[in-house]
Structure 1
């Protein structure tokens, strides 16, 4: 591999690929109904999976699962009725992040996952302060000229098999992780990104809680 994966900051980082399925009630932000996460570290010249988790999440009463949600994900209201609450599911995920370790979340179109996490920050404060890498700008930088940069297009480009349960969080997180590893390999081979700082500059997205607070124009 190239300079990127030799970078000490890169090797010290755990990359947590994350995916949510949501329901989108009118007048409210998207509410999570499933989450999956897969943690990866680059150690001893190879990628290692250091953890994974997946959970259904029971949506609040104002955000019921609709027929459109079921058509997209296969999840039904009956399946989610006894699922953990957002506080339980996201709290459990948050506790898997070890204090003092360096993490970056990885997602396809990270704005979606970032907004879900930000809106649930009371349940996952550590997760809500973890910055993102977005596979879309990374793919645009490394493989320009694709017709679009949707997940299905990237899967086809890299010859990654479509998962059986596409649009389930646990399946989508697996293939997003495969895309991410292909992109890191491409970055190494082309020597376009030489360290973690360059990777973050190209594809990073700050967690909203890490953005500076904008003060009034006439605050003294």
Structure 2
């Protein structure tokens, strides 16, 4: 292993790979209808899974599941109509994050997850203050020259099998986790990132709740 996975801060961090499926009503931000997460730790020699979570989420009335949503995810309006509320589903995930532990969220195109979490922050205060790593800039840094950095392209590059239920949250979390582990291994091999701070500089995204609040341009 290289310097990154020997870094004490890296080994002390739990990396929570997260994915949402959503419905996007006109005039409103995307509303989650499913969430999944897979928590990983690196012990200096290998990755260890330390927890999983998944739940359907009942969307608000203004954001019904459409036929297009069903075609992409396989989820139906009836299924999500019986699902836990956002407060129940996201609150359940939030309670999995233990006080005093170091966490980073990991996502493919993390801006999407960051926005969803921020908009649901009242239900998941700990999650909403957890910074993120984005697999896309990390992949651009350690495997340059790919035609694009979509998840399917990265799966093909690393010869990771497409899941049968692609576009369901846990299936996407599972393959994103595999991509992330391959990217870390490649960063280690190339000494592209010396430590967690360098990894965060390359691929980090600050949680919106951790950004400074900009004061009004003109005070009244």
TM-score normalised by L of structure 2: 0.98
Aligned to 1:78: 78
> What is the deviation of 1:217?
4.1
TM-score normalised by L of structure 1: 0.98
* Unaligned residue ranges in structure 2 (runs of 5+): none
> What is the deviation of 1:215?
1.7
* Pair 1:132 & 2:118 matched: no
Aligned to 1:121: 121
The CA deviation string for residues 15-38 of structure 1, in whole angstroms up to 9 with x for no partner, is 000000000001110000000000
Q: Give the root-mean-square deviation of aligned CA atoms.
A: 1.1
Do the aligned partners of 2:6 and 2:44 also contact (CA within 8 Å) in 1? no
Q: What CA distance in whole angstroms lies between the structure 2 residues aligned with 1:209 and 1:170?
A: 25
Q: What CA distance in whole angstroms lies between the structure 1 residues aligned with 2:86 and 2:110?
A: 20
Aligned to 1:24: 24
The CA deviation string for residues 91-117 of structure 1, in whole angstroms up to 9 with x for no partner, is 000000000000000000000011000
Question: Which residues of 2 match residues 2-81 of structure 1 at below 5 A?
Answer: 2-81=2-81
Count of aligned pairs between the two proteins: 220
* Pair 1:155 & 2:155 matched: yes
> What is the deviation of 1:213?
1.2
